[in-house]
Amino acid sequence: VYATGGSVSQSGNYRTHYFYSSGSFWIQNSGNSGGSNTVTYLIIAGGGGGTGVGGGGAGGYRYGSTGTVGTGTYTVTVGGGGAGRYSNYNTTTGGSGGNSSFYGYTSTGGGGGAATENWGATPGSGGSGGGAGMDTGANLTYSGGSGISGQGHNGGTGRRLAGGGGGGAGATGQNGHARGAHLGGNGGTGSYHFGAYRGGGGGGVTWSYNAPSPASGGTGGGGAGGAINTTQVGPGASNTGGGGGSAWTTGGSKNGGSGIVIIQYRFQ
């Protein structure tokens, strides 16, 4: 196989194309069965945005190989991160990430985190689900958004004064209170291919002035969650599909990270 498009690196007998934004992949030589006539892909969608409580879910994560490829130009779409939305006592949900696609395969954008669920907020579902919001009254438990099998995991649950972590490509988001009373859940861990972890979930909000630490973003670009007395909140890292962290304070929750498409083949 031989192709052009994106940012290209070469190592040994293999070429790898990195698409940090949408573009075109032009296969000029389709190869043959005696050498190589397939390509390996990693397609990561944009991560979901954080909101006042629940962390954003990671963008859908698909790794695999095509069947026999043919010559021609193929569109590569890279999804953007979902919008982070400041909210506490309301029904807001963070924005969903944009889809990414290549060669007929699509990864779905991550779901946004939820705010106050007993006020009617609902975590977003997607490649990975957004973290659940909290309950300000009775000690109820709310489910995180759903992830898509083969692309990601569910968001963590939320409970009284603690948000769930966003789901990651490699693991479910941690539940609110799992680290202790009123501590937000960490984002779910991402997955590892092409030399790096990507697709980590965003951290949920911690309602504790004496928190040992705010919730961390999942390994692989997830943004850290905030505590009630801090604005140290992280966005999803660019080109990882990481979910955005959530903030209760007016500093605002953070956007999800943009996605990426990586394509590799043997060229000699």
Pairwise CA distance, residues 83 & 233, whole Å: 14
User: Is the pTM here over 0.85, yes or no?
Assistant: yes
| pLDDT tens sequence across 173-211 | 999 999 888 899 999 999 999 999 999 999 998 887 766
Among 107, 103, 81, which residue's Cα sits nearest to residue 94?
A: 81
Question: To the nearest whole percent, how much of the chain has pLDDT over 70?
Answer: 94
Pairwise CA distance, residues 44 & 65, whole Å: 15
| pLDDT tens sequence across 25-40 | 999 999 998 889 999 9
Tell whether the model's pLDDT for residue 90 goes beyond 80.
Answer: no
Using pLDDT thresholds of 50, 70 and 90, give the confidence band for residue 58: very high
Query: Residue 61's pLDDT is what?
Result: 98
- Range 4-16 average pLDDT: 97
Q: Are 165 and 188 in contact (CB under 8 A)?
A: yes
Q: Are 132 and 158 in contact (CB under 8 A)?
A: yes
> What integer best gives the mean pLDDT of the chain?
92
Query: Residue 208's pLDDT is what?
Result: 76
78: amino acid identity, one letter: V
Query: Residue 111's pLDDT is what?
Result: 97
- The C-alpha R_g of the chain, in whole angstroms, comes to 19
Q: Is 224 exposed, middle or buried (0-12, 13-18, 19+ CB in 10 A)?
A: buried
Among 186, 162, 159, which residue's Cα sits nearest to residue 173?
A: 186
| pLDDT tens sequence across 135-152 | 777 778 899 999 999 999
Query: Residue 135's pLDDT is what?
Result: 77
